[in-house]
A and B are shown apart, each in its own frame.
Chain A
Amino acid sequence: MSAYRSMLYIPGNSPSLLQHAPIFGSDSVLLDLEDAVALSEKDAARKLVRHMIATLDFGRILVTVRVNGADTPFFERDLEEIIPACPGAIRLPKCGTPDDVRAADAKISALEERHGIAAGSIKLHAMIESAAGVVNANAIAGASPRLSAITIGGQDLIADMGAKKSREGWEIFSARGQIVIAAKSRGLDVYDTVWTDVNDNEGLFEETKRIVAMGFTGKAAIHPMQVPVIHSAFTPEPREIDFAGRVIRAAEEARRDGRGVFSVDGKMVDGPIIAQAARVLELAALSKRGGVQ
């Protein structure tokens, strides 16, 4: 399980935003070569992102780069330029089938080898933005050991479905569910889509709480002011933290006593509950590390 609650999107051709990528307070960043960059500047963006990754100190922040889709003339050049800079992960947009993942995996493997980078060290995040992609979520999730996360692209998905966007997000509830299950069945991280109304932080908070409850491990942000809102929605309630602490302590005791099975608050506790408790404590620790509210 990861500790990346927020993923801040930063336009790849904007020096004034990129240069501050490490200090916005998000757990991870997405440096975008795709939708945020004009066609005439694709070459400039990939160079800029490459140099920024190589020079900035990101500390614990996961650096991901969204390349252009495999059906564009920019895809290969993006990978060739970016892979040598060793980002944490490449986000592959418009993933519709497991073959999309495998093709990208093969290209990245070849580039890793050519540049002496440890094989498999650069991860892939698959972005599902179509109905077909949702249908293939299971297969996509199992397509490659390089894949470490799936993410949902709500805007394009809604358009593809011919559905209507609502504040509560009912139209993609099913898609979200399928994607979370597909991801979790393979132990992958799973990121939710952007909340586009930067003036409505209340709506962002409510949506984030909903998707946290569904099992999403992180959410996209399109503005730095959204980051603390997202983090606060990921912060467990005091009750949950208390229960999680007791579960972990009881598990340790049980282990020492050689007991396989134990209970907390009168309920039986097994593997998944312990893992859940560990995650709650991890999120609680993260939220203590601060961030401007």
Chain B
Amino acid sequence: MTAAKTAEAGSLESSDCLVIITEADKYALDYSGANASLFRRRTEAAVARALSAYGNPVCAVVIKDQGALEPTLNARLETALERAGYGRLGS
């Protein structure tokens, strides 16, 4: 029985975000930070896109947003998913 896949990417530095992906029974998104009330929909969409690119694994996603731009958010999501062992984009 392998341990639950979990990994993190990014940081809490200004303009970055910390993304933590953990294998789970059901999907959950915990999105916090100064922009949490402004970017909930954007972030949900970014998470959905990232999960879909990796075969829709069931995960709990934690994002602590320090004012990250979209490319940063997308990059950190992909990195966390790959570190957690959910495969690699492209081939």
B16 touches A51 (CB 8 A): no
Q: Which residue of the partner chain B has the closest CB to A16?
A: B15
B90 touches A48 (CB 8 A): no
B2 at the interface (CB under 8 A from A): no
B72 touches A15 (CB 8 A): yes
Measured between beta carbons, the chain A residues less than 8 angstroms from B69 are 15, 19, 55
Chain A interface residue count, CB cutoff 8 Å, equals: 16
B75 at the interface (CB under 8 A from A): yes
Measured between beta carbons, the chain B residues less than 8 angstroms from A254 are none
Tell which of B14, B72, B82 touches A51, judged by Cβ atoms closer than 8 Å.
Answer: B72
B71 at the interface (CB under 8 A from A): yes
Distance A19 CA – B79 CA, assembled complex (angstroms): 18
Measured between beta carbons, the chain B residues less than 8 angstroms from A274 are none
Measured between beta carbons, the chain B residues less than 8 angstroms from A43 are 79, 82-83
**Per-residue A-contact encoding for B61-83, CB less than 8 Å = 1, 0 else:** 00000001111101110110011
**Per-residue B-contact encoding for A71-107, CB less than 8 Å = 1, 0 else:** 0000000001100100000000000000000000000
Distance between B22 CB and nearest chain A CB, rounded to angstroms: 18
**Per-residue A-contact encoding for B11-44, CB less than 8 Å = 1, 0 else:** 0011110000000000000000000000000000
Within 8 A of B (CB), among A268-287: none
Measured between beta carbons, the chain B residues less than 8 angstroms from A48 are 71-72, 75-76, 79
Max chain A C-beta neighbours (<10 A), residue from B14, B79, B83: B79
Given contacts A16-B16, A81-B90, 7 further A-B contacts (CB under 8 A): A15-B72, A16-B14, A19-B15, A19-B69, A43-B79, A47-B75, A54-B71
6 tightest CB-CB pairs across the interface, nearest first? A51-B71, A16-B15, A47-B75, A48-B75, A15-B72, A55-B71
